[in-house]
Structure 1
């Protein structure tokens, strides 16, 4: 027992030395990033500093080298924040997202770009697209599908009318909590606010625990959290960020019906992204209205052994009972095999639009 204080002192000194080294190395990295920015600016004043493919490669490399005790994702998150802070020295990234503050979309934006990015809440998905198209934001973040409730049709429809590219993706585990304010009488809750999708994702839990409470759908979970602050008999379904932002208490945690509930978000921008080594491509295809059209569309993918990851159908804007197909598949459009498939699809379809090739989600 007498050795314990000395051992603790030695360990603390060792930690201090390591902290000194970490500080020095982070500062060295930041200075190096600043030099990169100076070179880029000198060569091209209008250069793009954020490189999605490069950041994906760095994070994958870190995860491959990591041998613990921190797990791969936790280590990658630490490096994500270092990279975000270094990028802010070059040029702060402005990111529009489906707001208001405290939404899962903001959480996805910060997960992908880090907390040094400037996040800008927008009232609607259309507004996110317009903000990026106008150049007021460098990138946008929009939800595209939930593992329980399926595709977000508004996002798909927005791509049909927009010239925006998909520059990345991020998958977020969605945990819903039942939140109340300090004014709430917890045994008198008779109204619950949330987004319609959150109600759908927590339906069984609500039926079991609050079968008689009024369920009021609002535009976002963050708005639900705001409303609860002003009422004594209501609760909200929202996530951790909304709980912290609006100072609410969790009276029940992780109330989603599916334990692996997750939402995929897309990063939209104005640039083509080079290959990162592990990529995905998204396209929208309009086929001629004829028998066997879907088979004709999918056959080249099968023959070239291209792995499809998603296929969605939406009504066409140009004709009654005509449909367009949204397709995600593994690979980059600059790869010869993928380029060959896209050319075949182009010849077989009425219209083909490549929405983007981008790194597969790392975090």
Structure 2
């Protein structure tokens, strides 16, 4: 009988060979992404994927391999391939036709923040090219792009638990940047400590204001007497707790980042909503062009006249053209003129491409029934409500 150590050695070698094959596959994905970008071909080809999966399932069955395992494995591979292609296409467009050797990215916090993880998710096909810049504020992220200190920035804009991040919406009103991409990231808030400690000993909780708000129910129930201290980012909270080394202090942050700061997760997934997803936008100084064959989202702002039915007329512009509005928010107008202190700026996300005649026509009509109209960006749509 084969010695178990020898069998395990063979398995290890096979697993390494599988990884090497995946690496070769990823190299082929780069060529496919470049070809699709040059020729305006959609990233997702459902017919091709379905047909190829059926072929693989038939081969797996003939080889005695579980069809369920095969389907699960290749569905994950296909999903990763699409993600890689979208990221590469973003890089191609941002560099005006050639992949950037280095991509300078600004995000909130430092290594281990949710924005850090979102950045690496979006750019994971080209991680080796990233030059990272952690920022203390949203304004710093935007300014770094405006001043050519970064090629792009990652900004959280809304969360399924706490809603829109108003500060980002307000900053975008006058920012000299364009939205060039988007992604969603699953948030897992955990209670992190320097060492295992009893719940009853915890007196101080450090975190960014958003996680504290998103975990309010658990915190009220389990730590009603605790003092909450807000930080500029969850990573700052983790740094503080790691430095204190106190059984009375904990941080609320990304559980996956705990090892980076030598912290111990005490409680996991404590958010009010167990499905806790943050949508991030990618910003750049130059706008990008999305091929019309790729599903695109356009973000814009507009103001309305202070009279009955003004907003209805705006909505009709899109409705009559069968353009889906997937996001509509209002915020106080920044820099209002005297007498317009209560004027509102509306933010809208629509599923449409600025390169198409239908949206161009809608924008012309929109300018007739609104005040200021500003296109924040047109980019590949990857986060659509009820479809993401």
What is the CA-CA distance between 1:80 and the residue it aligns to? Answer: 5.3
Q: Secondary structure at the match of 2:211?
A: helix
Match of 1:248 among 263, 266, 288: 263
Find the aligned partners of 1:28 and 1:358 in 2 and give their Cα distance: 24
Question: Shift of the alpha carbon at 1:281?
Answer: 0.7
CA contact (8 A) 2:255 2:268 kept: no
Out of 281, 291, 295, the position equivalent to 1:266 is 281
Match 1:224 to one of 237, 255, 273: 237
Q: Confirm or deny: 8 A CA contact 1:109 1:119 kept in the other structure.
A: no
1:1-363 pair list within 5 angstroms:
2=1, 18=18, 21-22=21-22, 57=43, 68-70=71-73, 72-73=75-76, 76-77=79-80, 91-114=101-124, 115-116=127-128, 117-182=130-195, 187-231=200-244, 232=246, 233-269=248-284, 270-275=286-291, 277-316=294-333, 317-318=335-336, 319-361=340-382
Is the alpha carbon distance of 1:29 and 1:70 closer, same or farther for their aligned partners in structure 2, counting shifts above 3 Å?
A: closer
Closer, same or farther: CA 184–202 of 1 in aligned 2, 3 Å: same
2: CA distance, partners of 1:324 / 1:288: 11
Do 1:184 and 1:234's aligned partners in 2 also have CA atoms closer than 8 Å?
no
Q: Is the 8 A contact 1:180 1:186 kept in 2?
A: no
Q: Distance in 1 between matches of 2:39 and 2:207?
A: 36
Give the match's secondary structure for 1:57: coil
Taking a change above 3 Å as real, the CA distance of residues 85 and 304 of structure 1, as seen in their structure-2 partners, is: closer
Contact 1:53 1:358 in 2 (8 A): no
TM-score under structure 2 length normalisation: 0.77
Whole-Å separation in 2 of the counterparts to 1:138 and 1:145: 23
- Count of matched residue positions in the alignment of Structure 1 and Structure 2: 346
Mapped contact 1:169–1:265 kept (Cα < 8 A):
yes
How many Å separate the matches in 2 of 1:127 and 1:216? 22
User: What are the Cα deviations for residues 146-179 of structure 1, in whole angstroms up to 9, with x where unaligned?
Assistant: 1121111111111111221110111111110000
Q: Contact conserved, 2:42 with 2:294, CA < 8 A, in 1?
A: no
- Tell me how far apart the structure 2 counterparts of residues 286 and 224 of structure 1 sit (CA, whole Å): 39
| Change in 2 beyond 3 A, CA 1:10/1:73 | closer
Where does structure 1 lack aligned partners over 5 or more consecutive residues?
37-50
Superposed CA deviations along residues 57-108 of structure 1, whole A, max 9, x for unmatched, are 2798997666633264565447757997997985121111112332211111
Asked if 1 retains the 8 angstrom alpha-carbon contact of 2:29 and 2:84, the reply is: no
Q: Provide the secondary structure at the position in 1 that maps to 2:155.
A: strand
Q: Distance in 1 between matches of 2:268 and 2:300?
A: 38
> Following TM superposition, by how much is the alpha carbon of 1:223 offset from its aligned partner in structure 2, in angstroms?
1.0
SS across alignment from 1:304: coil
The 3-state SS of whatever aligns with 2:117 is helix
Larger displacement relative to structure 2 (347-356 or 8-17): 8-17
| Contact 1:62/1:75 (8 A) holds in 2 | no
Q: 2:59 matched to which residue of 1?
A: none
How far apart in 2 are the matches of 1:201 and 1:81? 31
Deviations 1:114-152 (A, max 9, x none): 233222111111111111112221111111111121111
Where in structure 2 are there 5+ consecutive unaligned residues?
54-69, 92-97
Root mean square deviation of aligned Cα: 3.6
For residue 47 of structure 1, what is the aligned residue in structure 2?
none
